[in-house]
Amino acid sequence: MFRRTAVVLRHLLFPSPVQRTQLLANRMSTDPVAAVCQVTATPDKGENLSVCKKLVEEAKQKGASMVFLPEGFDYIGSNREETLSLAESLEGETVSSLAQIARKLEIWLSLGGFHEQGPNWKTDRRIYNSHIIINNKGDIVSVYRKAHLFDVELPEKGVSLKESAFTIPGPNLCAPIETPIGKVGLGICYDLRFPELSLALQRQGAEILTYPSAFTVATGAAHWEVLLRARAIETQCFVLAAAQVGPHHDKRSSYGHALAVDPWGVVLGDCGGERPGLIMVDINLEKLRNTRRNMPVQEHRRNTDFYHSLEKT
């Protein structure tokens, strides 16, 4: 009897490789799942909306609790005039249609970069680049307006964009929002290059950072993955980055490679650089807690005055 009990205990305490694999699979099956999407938006809003709806439906069928769409999911215009002519309010058809889908499928949505008519639209014709979170009841629960605008001239790489010509910078950050996959902190594209933003969100409890983007081919090839992994490592957060891919019109193309990164900086999924699609990601918050416990970076951080001390000398 004692020997039989000892054998059972041994199997429980020291499982075989096969048992360890099964235990891991059982544990992972309980993790919430996110879908990170990649699209090729054009100026055709109707077609773009149809593609996004199909991706959301596919994600739901595959078990996602939350779906992440990229910056410019609604459209990418070919010039300033077209971009402004297609803009809507939060109460417009695009957001309303996706809210209806969220409610019907009982799924959360991250609408990563919406061309929102600004507060003085009738007089100044300027917009916000807005990241909208919709819950599974179809309610808008958070709106973050992009703070850092992409005004960049790289003639040797064929990059020339001035977002501030028609976009208003957002006035503030948004507190991380509680979702079925964890607490999500919101950014958009160029925000990725400013670690102050990600650290501020982490200090407010973010477990997942998201950077929906439309990176240019040149800047994406040079910086996209390394920046996403850096933000994950320094904050010890999951990072989810939906992306635009391929040619939007004859003047602009995007890099693609929608990416998911874990709190250790490991790439969990990559959509590639060729076509629309999605990746499914298990969000294992126990991995996040273990990473932060084993390497307590935030506990080792000095107070704010310390990091500003050089400015006072």
The answer as to whether 59 is a domain residue is yes
For residue 28, which of 228, 284, 304, 209 has the smallest C-alpha distance? Answer: 284
The answer as to whether 7 is a domain residue is no
Q: Catalytic pick from 37, 52, 60, 71?
A: 71
pLDDT at 160: 85
71 is catalytic: yes
Per the CB < 8 A criterion, the answer to whether 132 and 114 are in contact is yes
CA distance 114 to 116: 6
DSSP string for 178-241 = EETTEEEEE--GGGGG-HHHHHHHHHTT-SEEE--B--BHHHHHHHHHHHHHHHHHHHT-EEEE
CA distance 139 to 145: 18
Tokens representing 85 are 């002519």
The mean pLDDT of 2-6, rounded to a whole number, is 41
CA distance 76 to 80: 10
Q: Catalytic pick from 189, 207, 237, 271?
A: 189
The mean pLDDT of 262-270, rounded to a whole number, is 98
The answer as to whether 190 is a domain residue is yes
The answer as to whether 72 is a domain residue is yes
The answer as to whether 161 is a domain residue is yes
3-state secondary structure 248-272: EECCEEEECCCEEECCCCCEEEECC
pLDDT band at 27 (very low <50, low <70, confident <90, very high): very low
The answer as to whether 290 is a domain residue is yes
Give the chain's domain count: 1
Integer angstrom CA distances of residue 241 from 190, 191, 251: 12, 12, 24
| pTM of this structure | 0.89
Q: Catalytic pick from 146, 183, 237, 271?
A: 146
Length of the chain, in residues: 313
Structural Rg of the chain based on CA atoms: 21
106 is catalytic: no
The answer as to whether 234 is a domain residue is yes
Tokens representing 197 are 């933003």
CA distance 283 to 208: 9
Range of the domain at 253: 31-299
**Tens-place pLDDT, residues 186-196:** 999 999 999 99
Q: Is the pLDDT of residue 142 over 90?
A: yes
The answer as to whether 156 is a domain residue is yes
For residue 144, which of 161, 157, 133, 131 has the smallest C-alpha distance? Answer: 131
189 is catalytic: yes
Sheet containing strand 238-241, edge to edge, reads: 177-179, 182-186, 208-210, 238-241, 259-261, 267-270
Q: Is the pLDDT of residue 125 over 90?
A: yes
DSSP state of 79: S
The mean pLDDT of 187-211, rounded to a whole number, is 98
CATH number for the domain that contains residue 114 = 3.60.110.10
For residue 250, which of 103, 113, 77 has the smallest C-alpha distance? Answer: 77
